[in-house]
Amino acid sequence: MLLNESNAEQMELNRLHLGCGHTILEDWINLDFVALKGVDVIANLDACAEVPLPFEDNSIEEFYGSHLIEHIQHTLPMMQELHRIAKPGAKANFRLPYGASDDAFEDPTHVKEYFLSNS
């Protein structure tokens, strides 16, 4: 859902900042599940299986999420939805704590740890 119509022109930016919180990026569409100052789109990324994101197919050319994925319980439906709205060749940059680090365990809202895999 667009937070307000004055932000509709930002939909043309084609870069989506996922789970932005209070970190608002200029020249990006800032998405969060809470209506905070600077948030352009309100959406629950954990509910992508039931509620699609409010973007056209093949419309986003870049994704950024910092300390987001470890909070998402249903990552596969979220990633499927991001794939739907991604333009061919889109870039995705996700930052998250390594699964064996203290940062991965100290926050009780983290639902999953992530590790590098060599296989």
Q: Is the pLDDT of residue 64 over 60?
A: yes
* Closest C-alpha among 111, 100, 101, 118 to residue 45: 111
Q: Is the pLDDT of residue 29 over 60?
A: yes
Strand partners, 16: 29, 63
Q: Is the pLDDT of residue 4 over 80?
A: no
Q: Are 56 and 75 in contact (CB under 8 A)?
A: no
- Residue 115: predicted pLDDT: 75
* Mean pLDDT lowest among 25-29, 46-50, 94-98, 107-111: 107-111
Dist. CA 68–CA 96, nearest whole Å: 7
* Range 18-46 average pLDDT: 96
Q: Is the pLDDT of residue 70 over 50?
A: yes
For domain 5-106, which CATH number applies: 3.30.450.20, 3.20.20.70, 3.30.930.10, 3.40.50.150? 3.40.50.150
* Range 34-51 average pLDDT: 96
Task: Report the run of H or E that residue 86 belongs to, with start and end.
Answer: strand 86-95
Dist. CA 99–CA 93, nearest whole Å: 18
